Amino acid sequence: MQKAWAVLSLILTCCMLLYLLLWENLSEQFHSKTVTISALILSRLRNTSLHIAERPIFPTEKEVSTTPIPILYKNNFTKLPEWDFEDVYLRNSEARRPTCPKSLQNTEDPKFKEAVLPDIQLWLYKNLLNITEWNRLAHFNNPFGFMEYKYNEVKRAVDLIPKPSIFLPVPENSKDGCIRCAVVGTGGILNNSKMGKEIDSHDYVFRVNGAVIQGYEEDVGNKTSVYVHTSFSMYSNIITLKKYGFNSIPLDKGIKYVMIPEGMRDFDWLQGLLQGKASNGSFKGVSPLKYFKGNFNESRFYVLHPDFLRYIRNRFMPSKQLQGRYWAIYRPTNGAFALFLAIHTCDIVDAYGFITEDHHMYSNYYYEMFKKTHVIFYINHDYGLEIKTWKELHDAGIIRLFQRN
Instruction: Flag whether pLDDT at 63 surpasses 50.
Output: no
d(CA 206, CA 341): 10
User: pLDDT tens digit string along 223-272?
Assistant: 999 999 999 999 999 999 999 989 999 999 999 999 999 999 999 999 99
Q: What is the pTM of this model?
A: 0.84
Q: Where in the chain is the domain with CATH 3.90.1480.20?
A: 104-401
pLDDT of residue 32: 34
Q: Which residues neighbour 288 within 8 Å (Cβ) at sequence distance 6 or greater?
A: 231, 234, 269, 270, 272, 273, 279
- CATH code: domain 104-401 is 3.90.1480.20
pLDDT band at 52 (very low <50, low <70, confident <90, very high): very low
pLDDT in tens, 111-167: 999 999 999 999 999 999 999 999 999 999 999 999 999 999 999 999 999 999 999
Alpha helices (H) in 123-263, listed in sequence order: 131-137, 151-158, 196-200, 217-220, 231-240
Residue 38 has pLDDT above 80, yes or no: no
Indicate if the pLDDT at residue 35 is higher than 90: no
- Phi/psi at 400 (5° precision): -115, 115
Q: What is the mean pLDDT of residues 25-51?
A: 36
At residue 57, does pLDDT exceed 70?
no
